Amino acid sequence: MKRVRVLIKPKEGLLDPQGRAVEEMLKDNGFEVRHVKVGKLVEMEVEEGEDVKKLVEKFIINPLIEDYEIEEL
């Protein structure tokens, strides 16, 4: 088995109200930040030969509104 982590974030160019709210909060607290995005994380253990990309694209993300990265842990 291998452990993988899927990082999902709102697609580039799409308005992300959560990210915007967090960005404003950080600015209000004196931090210089920009392009804050709030996404989700899915971790799983899968068989070595499992096609994780296919699993993610078909069952986990919506490609119209989300970008993703797969990390092997």
Partner 1 sequence: MRFAVCVFPGSNCDYDTFYIIRDVLEKDVDFVFYDQKDLSKYDCVVLPGGFSYGDYLRPGALAAKSPLAEAVVEFAGRGKLVLGICNGFQILTELHLLPGALLPNLNMRFVCKDVYLRVENNSTTLTKKLDEGEILRIPIAHHDGRYYVPEDELKRLEERGQILFRYVDRDGNATDGANPNGSVSNIAGVMNKEGNVFGMMPHPERASEDILGSHDGLMLWYSLISD
C-beta of 38 vs 46, nearer to partner 1: 38
How many angstroms separate the CA atoms of 21 and 16, rounded? Answer: 9
With binding defined as CB under 8 A, does residue 41 bind partner 1? no
C-beta of 13 vs 30, nearer to partner 1: 13
With binding defined as CB under 8 A, does residue 12 bind partner 1? no
Q: Which position among 2, 5, 18, 45 is part of the footprint of partner 1 (CB under 8 A)? A: 18
8 Å CB contact between 8 and 67: yes
Residue 44's nearest CA partner among 58, 68, 60 is 60
